[in-house]
């Protein structure tokens, strides 16, 4: 009797798992809003393109593996952001491996120094590292308004010059730059 119950429970669990695995991707992404679903659909399309290219022998297996892993990493980060924020918004994301950091940065930083949320070069915010076969470093590209705001904040920060701090761009003792005048 106990064995029959166990078998029934296992069959029930297996069939439920199979039903979830066979859900169309659109249903699996139903918990998200239209923007996140569209991005996940875009990633599915990208994977189909990579699958097609490898089936036609247009790309190497290494290229296929890396790009499939990149797509999985982006999907994982997108789902994580959408669930954590409960918001139907995703930043423009870039996923790069250690050896690809030079594609984003002129002077590539050391991955071990990245802090979550850290902004690099006033252009990218570090979102995290995702391991999908290899480690991908995920960055959100800052929009032009965020970049301008960061630059303005940096200009307003005090600069240490001698015994007293002076705000950069203002005249005064210790300032070695002329005052910058901007017109609206």
Higher pLDDT, 14 or 169: 14
Q: What is the pLDDT of residue 173?
A: 39
With a cut of 90, say whether residue 174 has pLDDT above it: no
With a cut of 60, say whether residue 135 has pLDDT above it: yes
Mean residue pLDDT across the chain: 79
Higher pLDDT, 40 or 1: 40
With a cut of 70, say whether residue 166 has pLDDT above it: no
Note whether 115 and 127 are within 8 A (CB). no
Q: What is the pLDDT of residue 144?
A: 86
Higher pLDDT, 143 or 2: 143
**CA 143, 145, 147 angle in degrees (round to 5)?**
70
User: Tens of pLDDT along 91-111?
Assistant: 999 999 999 999 999 999 998
Mean pLDDT of 151-179: 53
Where does the pLDDT of residue 161 fall: very low under 50, low under 70, confident under 90, or very high at 90 and above? Answer: low
Distance CA 69, CA 127 (A): 17
Q: What is the pLDDT of residue 11?
A: 43
Q: What is the pLDDT of residue 158?
A: 67
Q: What is the pLDDT of residue 152?
A: 86
Q: What is the pTM of this model?
A: 0.69
Going from the C-alpha of 111 to that of each of 85, 101, 168, the distances in angstroms are 25, 9, 31
């Amino acid at each position: 009797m106990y064995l029959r119950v166990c078998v029934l429970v296992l069959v029930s669990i297996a069939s439920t798992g199979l039903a979830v695995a066979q859900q169309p991707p659109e249903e699996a992404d139903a918990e998200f809003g239209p923007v996140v679903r569209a991005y996940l659909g875009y990633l599915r399309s990208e994977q189909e393109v990579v699958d097609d290219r490898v089936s036609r022998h247009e790309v190497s297996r290494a290229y296929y593996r890396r790009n499939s892993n990149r797509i999985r990493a982006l999907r994982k980060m997108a789902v994580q952001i959408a669930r954590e924020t409960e918001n139907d918004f995703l930043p423009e994301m870039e996923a790069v491996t250690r050896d690809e950091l030079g594609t984003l940065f002129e002077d590539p930083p050391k991955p071990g120094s990245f802090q979550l949320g850290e902004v690099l070069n006033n252009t990218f915010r570090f979102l995290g590292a995702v391991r999908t076969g290899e480690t991908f470093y995920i960055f959100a590209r800052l929009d032009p308004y965020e970049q301008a705001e960061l630059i303005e904040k940096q200009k307003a920060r005090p600069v240490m010059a001698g015994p007293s701090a002076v705000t950069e761009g203002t005249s005064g003792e210790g300032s070695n730059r002329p005052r910058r005048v901007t017109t609206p």
